[in-house]
A and B are shown apart, each in its own frame.
Chain A
Amino acid sequence: MSEAFAFLNDIVDYGPQILSGLINTLILAGTISVTGLLAGILIFRLTLSDNEIIRKSTARYISFFIGTPLIVLLFLMYYGLPQWGINFSPFTIAVIGFTLNIAAYNSRYLSAAYNGIDQHQLMAASAQGFSSRQIFTLIILPQTLRRAIPGLTNQVALNIKDSSIAFLIQYVDFFAQMQEQASLNFQYLKVYAVTGAVYLLLVSLVIFASKRLETRYAIPH
């Protein structure tokens, strides 16, 4: 009992650092979720382009980012760019790397949702004289976004989990602070169990919100 108390005491003593780490995790996960969604919409738009070269290069982009590990991209920027005299902060590098990667996944969710749209709607719209831009923003996007909610929110949960790799490029997030904590009190098992529980809680909140969003924005039949 006193041992558990001492462990809690350690965590409370280290509280401010852990809290700042948690905030950094939330900032990073929040930022990349927003930028990843916006970039994902852009990539999805490019997959619908009339220009074959654009369509092909977009497909290559998606396949490349789905086929290579994100950490390699982060290391490329973190250890490679200074060679050309470009120095970005770990946060900037994480945001750029994650955004490029998440965009590829989100565009795939949107494409899958797009395939479920009744193509007659698009024909009807162009017969009515809608420009391709209007068709995209008024007809395609609202429906694909709604249909893609499960995939897109699942990506947000993944973003929270994956943001934990940012400590490898010296971004001081929640996981980094907990590792520091573990190396101070040597209670690796307990500290990492608590760390896991906190991530599980965050992910659970996203899943809960996702279910709410899904019912709220379901397309009525």
Chain B
Amino acid sequence: MTFLEIVSILARGAGFTILVTLACILTGFFSGLLAALLFRLDIRPLNWLLHAFTYTFRGIPLLVILFLVFFGLPSIGLPIPPLVAMMLSLGLICGAYLSEVFRGALEAVDPNELMAAQSMGMRRIQILTAIEIPQMLRFSAPGMLNEFTTVLKYSPFAYTVGVPEILKEATSLALTTLRGMEIYLAVGVLYFLIYKIMMEMFLWVERRYAIPGFKQI
């Protein structure tokens, strides 16, 4: 079996790797955005809850949360499919980290612009969607890329709950052929390729929506 054949077998799992990564990135993006915006409301009990959310999800290993969700919740009558388990663990961990990124970026928006908008008679929601969020997302780009990369690199753990992604294909292939060296080397190369492609796509989007002269923090 040549190296290329190994890669082509492993590539079958790549679809699931990308699926898991995208699902977790989307979960993380929206939960992080929601948390950052709710934090903006500055309601004290809510702030405590949000702090508790970010602190817990940033302080507990992914596998512990994943196993808690995947093996723990069914024991109280809540069966969770593997992909959803990944979204509730890796996705929310990503959301916890992203909410901090978004919070910092929201604070970087010039308060004078908000005052100007208010005096122009814009409603709070308009200010949020037309002024704060568009700038915040651009400020957050480096942080988001970091977190998305982290999600990709933690996605192989989906194999522990039975998602047939790259690492899962690799372990079964390694069991039958006993050529772990080439197989895992191919896995590493494959992940690196996905990482590079993901990064290029992200940077393309970033450039596409860049505003000339807009200062980064």
Taking Cβ atoms with an 8 Å cutoff, the residues of A that contact B are 64, 66-73, 75-76, 78-84, 157, 161-162, 164-165, 168, 175, 179, 182, 186-190, 192-193, 195-196, 199-200, 203-204
Give the chain A neighbours of B157 by CB distance below 8 A.
71, 165
Main secondary structure of the interface of A (DSSP, over half): helix
A-B contact pairs, 23 of them (CB 8 A): A67-B153, A67-B191, A69-B154, A70-B153, A71-B167, A72-B156, A75-B184, A75-B187, A80-B183, A83-B181, A161-B59, A164-B63, A165-B61, A175-B64, A187-B75, A189-B75, A192-B67, A192-B71, A192-B72, A199-B60, A200-B59, A203-B58, A204-B59
B residues 147-200 in Cβ contact with A at 8 Å: 149, 152-157, 160, 167, 170-171, 174, 178-185, 187-188, 191-192, 195-196
The 9 closest A-B pairs by CB, nearest first: A79-B180, A189-B72, A80-B181, A76-B184, A80-B180, A192-B68, A67-B195, A164-B61, A161-B61
A82: chain B residues within 8 A (beta carbon): 180
The answer to whether the Cβ of B106 comes within 8 Å of any Cβ in the partner chain is: no
Other-chain contact of A162, B61, B170, B185, B196 (Cβ < 8 Å): B61
**Cβ contact of A192, chosen from B59, B64, B76, cutoff 8 A:** B64
Number of chain B interface residues as a range: 35 or more
Whether the Cβ atoms of B184 and A79 lie closer than 8 Å is yes
Chain B 54-104 residues near chain A, CB threshold 8 A:
55-56, 58-65, 67-68, 71-76
Q: A67-B149, A200-B60 are in contact. Are A193 and B72 (CB under 8 A)?
A: yes
Bound-state Cα–Cα, A29 to B46, Å:
34
Interface residues of B (CB under 8 A from A): 55-56, 58-65, 67-68, 71-76, 149, 152-157, 160, 167, 170-171, 174, 178-185, 187-188, 191-192, 195-196
B55: which A residues are within 8 A, CB to CB? 200
Complex CA gap A64/B58 in Å reads: 25
